[in-house]
């Protein structure tokens, strides 16, 4: 039986977004998954079929980390892996791959000048130089590390409310990507009333407890009896149960957002700053994203913002709650007429390549280039995309030529291998 190893050296959201790759491999052989020690309990819940290997990626105890890593490498040395999938461009994960023959490693492997990308990773990654025109979800980027991955509709269930109320993710790791508390409170009040006064669960780590306290002060007294503050009170398996069955989750780009999508919970996400819905939006059918749309978005998370986080200003427009009401009631015209300038609303769906966002309100100046990029990536994988719905611009010849110039190199004339070696 083939035996596969997936190395996922990033954090919670990335572990969930490796889902298409892992589900694909599980149908083909014995699947092993290496993750940070702290994520093992969640990985056990999400991927019960996988044999887990705990990596000490974020510990400060160097001696203990060396011992634990040594035990993991010894175990790998005894296993005969058919293929190894390293998901991250990092020195830690790539160094681990030195244990394996280079031809067995897909994604990122050691090279003479540092980590090298395999052909699909190299081609798809070129779009990061033109992020505003991108349309490849990270789930599908990793999913296509394996040839012929499972169909996109088999990754996450369609979004459907489960009767457990409204979930609110308080903040993400990067403050620039999260909504300020007064604005978040206004949105929560609007949704709470629109949904008929459901239970509300506040979700986050212990670091978000101060945010929860500020949010509770902003909410009207009539709501407080319905609000349960779970910030810092759930371990990872308990977080799964807190999210499971919600009618909707309000969130920035976070790991909890990806967890909700994996559980079939409808997501209403707000993306700004370095967060870009076409890259890391919720995966599957039935999710909604409000995306900042100004010239500097998406930006680089590691660089300071020279514009005072100007991408936040459209979200603070008083018209946004009314636009959300129209949107969630299925009145696209009402949502579009009230949507502030500088925002887009996208709904999630699927095609042959994977998850794709479709514009529900706002304007998309990059639609032609976005479509051309998706067509080019799909063609390289031997996939055919369906015709776009009425009203969606097709990629014209100029856009297609521009994208070919971005994505192709002289060494890329050959299609990727379709079988395991």
Place of tokens 């349960």: 228
Reported as a single tens digit per residue, the pLDDT across 259-274 is: 999 999 999 999 999 9
Query: Of 101, 117, 133, which marks where a domain is finished?
Result: 117
Percent of the chain residues topping a pLDDT of 70: 95
Residue that wins the pLDDT comparison between 68 and 353: 353
pLDDT band of 90, cuts 50, 70, 90: confident
Q: What is the mean pLDDT of residues 287-314?
A: 92
pLDDT band of 419, cuts 50, 70, 90: very low
Note whether 213 and 272 are same-domain residues.
yes
Please give the model's pTM, rounded to 2 decimal places.
Answer: 0.94
In the three-class reduction of DSSP (H, G, I as helix; E, B as strand; rest coil), residue 36 is classed as: strand
Note whether 277 and 180 are same-domain residues.
yes
pLDDT of 173 reads 77
Residue that wins the pLDDT comparison between 238 and 386: 238
pLDDT band of 381, cuts 50, 70, 90: very high
- How many domains does the chain divide into? 2
pLDDT band of 421, cuts 50, 70, 90: very low
124 inside domain: no
- Is the model's pLDDT at 409 over the cut of 80? no
Query: Of 322, 341, 361, which marks where a domain is finished?
Result: 361
Residue that wins the pLDDT comparison between 421 and 129: 129
pLDDT of 420 reads 35
pLDDT band of 393, cuts 50, 70, 90: low
Note whether 198 and 335 are same-domain residues.
yes
Residue that wins the pLDDT comparison between 419 and 237: 237
412 inside domain: no
pLDDT of 389 reads 57
Burial of 360 (0-12, 13-18, 19+ CB in 10 A): middle
270 inside domain: yes
pLDDT band of 375, cuts 50, 70, 90: very high
Reported as a single tens digit per residue, the pLDDT across 189-247 is: 999 999 999 999 999 999 999 999 999 999 999 999 999 999 999 999 999 999 999 99
80 inside domain: yes
CATH number at residue 75: 3.40.50.2000
- Is the model's pLDDT at 336 over the cut of 80? no
Note whether 13 and 91 are same-domain residues.
yes
Reported as a single tens digit per residue, the pLDDT across 133-143 is: 999 999 999 99
368 inside domain: no
Distance CA 270, CA 170 (A): 12
Q: Which residue segment(s) compose the domain that 339 sits in?
A: 166-361
pLDDT band of 392, cuts 50, 70, 90: low
404 inside domain: no
Strands laid side by side in the 166-169 sheet: 227-229, 200-203, 166-169, 248-251, 267-271, 288-292, 343-350, 355-361
Kindly state the DSSP code that residue 336 receives in the 8-state scheme.
H
Distance CA 296, CA 345 (A): 18
Q: In this structure, are residues 152 and 21 in contact, taking their beta carbons and an 8 Å threshold? A: no
Reported as a single tens digit per residue, the pLDDT across 152-182 is: 999 999 999 999 999 999 998 778 889 999 9
Strands laid side by side in the 105-111 sheet: 51-55, 30-36, 3-7, 83-86, 105-111, 114-117
Contacts of 417 (CB under 8 A, 6+ apart): 147
371 inside domain: no
Note whether 104 and 206 are same-domain residues.
no
Instruction: Tell me the two tokens of residue 213.
Output: 């306290």
Distance CA 256, CA 168 (A): 10
Note whether 98 and 175 are same-domain residues.
no
Cβ neighbours of 349 (radius 10 Å): 15
Return mean pLDDT, the chain: 91
Note whether 94 and 15 are same-domain residues.
yes
pLDDT of 388 reads 62
Note whether 113 and 171 are same-domain residues.
no
Distance CA 117, CA 123 (A): 9
Percent of the chain residues topping a pLDDT of 90: 75
Note whether 329 and 190 are same-domain residues.
yes
Q: In this structure, are residues 403 and 378 in contact, taking their beta carbons and an 8 Å threshold? A: no
59 inside domain: yes
- Is the model's pLDDT at 369 over the cut of 90? yes
Q: Are strands 227-229 and 248-251 parallel, antiparallel or unpaired?
A: unpaired
- Best CA proximity match to 244, nearest among 262, 269, 217, 228: 262
Query: Of 361, 378, 397, which marks where a domain is finished?
Result: 361
């Amino acid at each position: 039986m083939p035996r596969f190893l997936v190395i996922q050296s990033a954090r919670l959201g990335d572990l969930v977004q490796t889902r298409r790759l892992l589900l694909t491999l599980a149908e083909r052989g014995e699947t092993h998954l290496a993750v940070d020690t702290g994520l093992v309990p969640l990985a056990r819940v999400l991927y019960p079929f996988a044999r887990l290997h705990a990596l000490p990626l974020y510990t400060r105890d160097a001696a203990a980390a060396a011992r634990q890593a040594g035990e993991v490498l010894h175990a790998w040395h005894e296993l005969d892996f058919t293929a190894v999938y390293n998901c991250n461009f990092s020195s830690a994960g790539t160094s681990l791959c030195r244990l394996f023959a280079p031809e067995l490693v897909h994604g990122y492997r050691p090279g003479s000048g540092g980590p090298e990308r395999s052909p699909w990773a190299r081609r798809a990654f070129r779009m990061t130089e033109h992020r505003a025109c991108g349309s490849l979800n990270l789930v599908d980027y990793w999913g296509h590390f394996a040839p012929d991955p499972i169909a996109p509709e088999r990754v996450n269930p369609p979004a459907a409310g489960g009767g457990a109320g409204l979930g609110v993710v308080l903040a993400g790791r990067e403050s620039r990507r999260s909504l300020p508390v007064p604005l978040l409170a206004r949105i929560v009040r609007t949704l709470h009333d629109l949904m008929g006064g459901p239970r509300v669960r506040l979700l986050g780590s212990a670091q978000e407890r101060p945010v929860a306290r500020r949010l509770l002060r902003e909410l009207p007294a009539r709501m407080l009896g319905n609000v349960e503050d779970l910030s810092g009170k759930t371990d990872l398996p308990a977080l799964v149960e807190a999210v499971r069955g919600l009618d909707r989750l309000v969130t920035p780009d976070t790991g909890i957002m990806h967890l909700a999508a994996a559980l079939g919970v409808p997501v209403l996400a707000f993306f700004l700053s370095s967060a870009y819905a076409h890259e890391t939006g919720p995966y599957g059918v039935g999710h909604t994203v409000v995306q900042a749309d100004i010239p500097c978005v998406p930006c680089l998370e590691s660089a300071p913002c020279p514009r005072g986080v100007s991408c936040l200003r459209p979200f603070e427009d008083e018209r946004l709650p009314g636009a959300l009401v129209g949107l969630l009631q299925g009145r696209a015209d009402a949502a579009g007429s009230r949507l502030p300038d500088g925002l887009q609303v996208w709904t999630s769906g699927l095609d042959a390549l994977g998850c794709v966002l479709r514009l529900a309100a706002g304007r998309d100046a990059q639609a032609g280039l976005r479509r051309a990029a998706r067509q080019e990536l799909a063609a390289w994988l031997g996939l055919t995309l369906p015709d776009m719905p009425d009203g969606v611009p097709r990629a014209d010849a100029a856009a297609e030529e521009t994208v070919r110039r971005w994505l192709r190199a002289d060494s890329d004339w050959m299609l990727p291998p379709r079988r395991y070696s």
